[in-house]
Each structure stands twice: as C-alpha cells, then as structure tokens.
Amino acid sequence: MKKKQENQRIDVYARITDRLVEDLARGVRPWMQPWHASHSEGRITRPLRHNGLPYSGMNVLLLWSEGMARGFTSPMWMTFKQALELGAVVRKGESGSTVVFASRFTKAEAESYLSAQKASLDSPNVALDLRIPGFFNYTEVLEIELSKALAGEEEPQAALDNIAAEWNKITDEFGRDKQLAAYRSAMGLPPLK
C-alpha cells in the first residue's frame, strides 16, 4: 500500500479492500484461521492491544493478514507512542497498520448529550431547521424566482405569484396533510387532531 500524501484523507475502505485483494492474489484467504498444524505449539489468539485486550471485528482479519504478510509471530499490536511509553524501540523504516476504531456511547454520555440537545431546544433563542420532504425543491423555486425579480427579469409580484404556484404544486406532490404534519413536527408544534 502506498503512503498517504500530506493532507490527503485516508480511505480506510479502499485500503482494506486492497489488502484483501492482495491476499487473495497470493492464494491467502484472510477470513480463514491464520495457523496450521505445524505452527500450533503456542496458544492461538486474536490480535491483542498493547494492554492485552483483544481486537474485535474487522480488526482481527486486518491484523492477522498484516501479521502474516510481515512475518510477525507476536499477537501484540501498539502505536508508535505506546511503544515508546513501554520503553520499546521501533526499527527505522517500520510503518503502521490499518485498524478501524469504533466506540459506543455509555449511558451517562448519551444522557449528557441528549440533555444538552434538549437545553438548546428549550432556549428562547432557538432557531429550528425546517425539515420537511421537498425542502430543497421549495428553496430552489424561491431562489430562482427571487433572482429573476432582483435581476429585473420579472416584476416582484409576478415572482411571488410564481413561487406560490410552484410551492402549491410541490405540496400537492408530497401530499398536503403529510407536509403539514412534517412542518408542525419540524417547528416543535403538536400534531393536529
């Protein structure tokens, strides 16, 4: 795999796909167990973090594949910084391996986030987003017609009439009742009975 250029975003999916294709081209099936009978003296384990916790999910396949490609025998993996903190030496020219990080919210984190969202919605200065089907259709008509009026191509009243007519068509396409319900919901208003 090529090193990323400065300020270029790493495409993790492409790197993983490239690695799997390389393994398949070499006749290695990375989803199969990376050991065989002649290599079974020690305990078979998932790749481990520097603190002994096992990797999970896609990272197991990625690190098994990387370990086989580089001829590593240890299941331990760590960052450069972690190696330095442990007093280890990293050989010149060594490069990193891809792992995918995913995290879950704890209950306390989720509650904290949701309470912050609620507090912002309860603020007297709140500005809600209008989230209704066809929002961009409505704004496109508005921008086109206002541009014509501002450029002197149309009288202001004609532009407003065209906006109203087009908005009515859009509303009818999506359904008046559905649009009204979506609008009320977006504005934080209770549904009509």
Domain boundaries, the chain: 1-106, 119-186
What residue has token string 């407003």?
160
pLDDT tens for the chain, 193 residues: list them.
445 444 445 566 677 777 778 878 877 766 665 555 454 455 567 888 888 888 887 788 778 878 877 888 888 888 888 888 888 888 888 888 777 776 677 778 878 877 887 887 777 777 666 678 888 888 889 888 888 888 888 888 898 999 999 999 999 999 999 988 888 887 778 888 7
pTM exceeding the 0.75 threshold for the entire prediction? no
C-alpha 88/C-alpha 94 separation (Å) is 13
**Which residue stretches of the chain are H helix?**
12-25, 58-70, 80-85, 107-122, 135-150, 156-174, 176-186
d(CA 67, CA 55): 14
For residues 114 and 177, what is the distance between their CA atoms, to the nearest angstrom?
30
